[in-house]
Amino acid sequence: MNILEVNDLQKTFATQTAVDKVSFQLGKGSIFGLLGPNGAGKTTLIRMITGIFYPDSGNIQFEGRPFDPMSDVLRIGYMPEERGLYKKMKIGEQAVYLAQLKGLSRSDALQKAKQWFIKFEMQSWWNKKVEDLSKGMGQKLQFVTTVMHDPRLIILDEPFSGLDPVNSNLIKDEIYNLARNGATIIFSTHRMEQVEEICDHIILMNKGKKILDGTVHGVKQQFKENLFRIGLERLVAADANAATASPAFSVVGQMDGQLVVKIADGHRPNDVLSYFIQKGESITSFMEILPSLSDIFIRLVEGTPLARQFQNINL
């Protein structure tokens, strides 16, 4: 069963359509990347999923039935990009209070808070106020208050903002643990390399519309351009220029001291290897160049092929 189904969701503010008939499905235990540039409509979409905004049209199904903001919100954890904490309140007291708002008893909330504070090495902060915390420390606290009540759907909007590499890895490892234990996670960011590393499935949004939907691996395979890197023990301009005479491939540039070749339609990678072997070249490496999610987004939005970045390089 899908934990969440979004069907033709639309939201308009005045004359601006922030979300334009977006649909997708989320399976249980998946890590789902919602990405796009600033202003793409990600936050508006999240606010409809969490019941903060009502859609103008479309519907949301949660665990196989119509989404009920009054009850289903207790099974959702939402970490907004903007810090949503009380500055004057002690953080231990605040963690317990927010967990109680999500339906936990005070004793259960206190126990959960202590467990998470120990896990994140936050025990010494218990009586500190939020206003005394650094941005990174506040981000860790906000993550803890998002997941303390064991939500089935967790929405993280820019969760690594302000974190150093050590704490970023701590949050990342916990995201994996939560997914392994059955929680479904929506990870929203404009940092596409983070989604590429963490997520199983993605959608790309631009100007309120969904422009891409699929697994990370499947999307990369869909948009690959038959580009390969080949390392030669003896790479000189004459070799590169001579290689352009092959009908099997063309040389489009160099990358880190290796040739970048584009295989022609109807030919295979073995044809490239055979060409250089027959020339007596010693091949040190050969690998396919798959586009990053950032490359794919630029291609979809601007129509720029991946191969173009390797062109016009002096060989």
Q: What is the pLDDT of residue 2?
A: 87
What is the token pair recorded at 169? 């890895």
CATH topology of domain 2-221: Rossmann fold (3.40.50)
Convert the pLDDT of each residue in 87-132 to its tens digit.
889 999 999 999 999 999 999 999 999 999 999 989 898 999 988 8
Query: C-alpha 162: how far from its chain's center?
Result: 17
Under DSSP, is residue 258 helix (H, G, I), strand (E, B) or coil?
strand
Indicate if the pLDDT at residue 244 is higher than 80.
Answer: no
Residue pLDDT, tens place only, 138-185: 889 999 999 999 999 999 988 888 888 888 899 999 999 999 999 999
Q: What three-state secondary structure class fits 115?
A: helix
- Residue that the structure tokens 């990342």 belong to: 172
Q: Can you give the residue ranges of every domain in the chain?
A: 2-221, 225-289
Angle between helices 106-119 and 135-147 (to 10 degrees): 130
CA–CA separation, 279 and 272 (whole Å): 11
Question: What pLDDT is attached to residue 313?
Answer: 41
Residue-wise pLDDT for 35-46, tens only, equals 888 888 998 999
* Parallel/antiparallel/unpaired status of strands 227-232 and 76-79: unpaired
| CATH level 3 topology of 225-289 | Alpha-Beta Plaits (3.30.70)
CA torsion 231→235→239→240, rounded to 10°?
60
Same CATH fold assignment for domains 2-221 and 225-289: no
- Tens of pLDDT, residue by residue over 187-211, are 987 777 888 889 999 998 889 999 8
Strands 258-263 and 249-255: antiparallel
User: What span, in angstroms and rounded, lies between the C-alpha atoms of 87 and 237?
Assistant: 63
Q: Are the C-beta atoms of residues 229 and 260 closer than 8 Å to each other?
A: yes
| pTM of this structure | 0.83
Look-up: residue for tokens 């001579």?
242
C-alpha distances (whole Å) from 231 to each of 159, 180, 224, 269, 284 are 39, 39, 20, 14, 5
Residue 236 CB neighbour total at 10 angstroms: 10
Give 216's strand partners. Answer: none
Q: Is 122 exposed, middle or buried (0-12, 13-18, 19+ CB in 10 A)?
A: buried
Structure tokens at 291: 């586009």
> Do β-strands 57-62 and 65-66 pair in parallel, antiparallel, or remain unpaired?
antiparallel
Q: Are 21 and 167 in contact (CB under 8 A)?
A: no
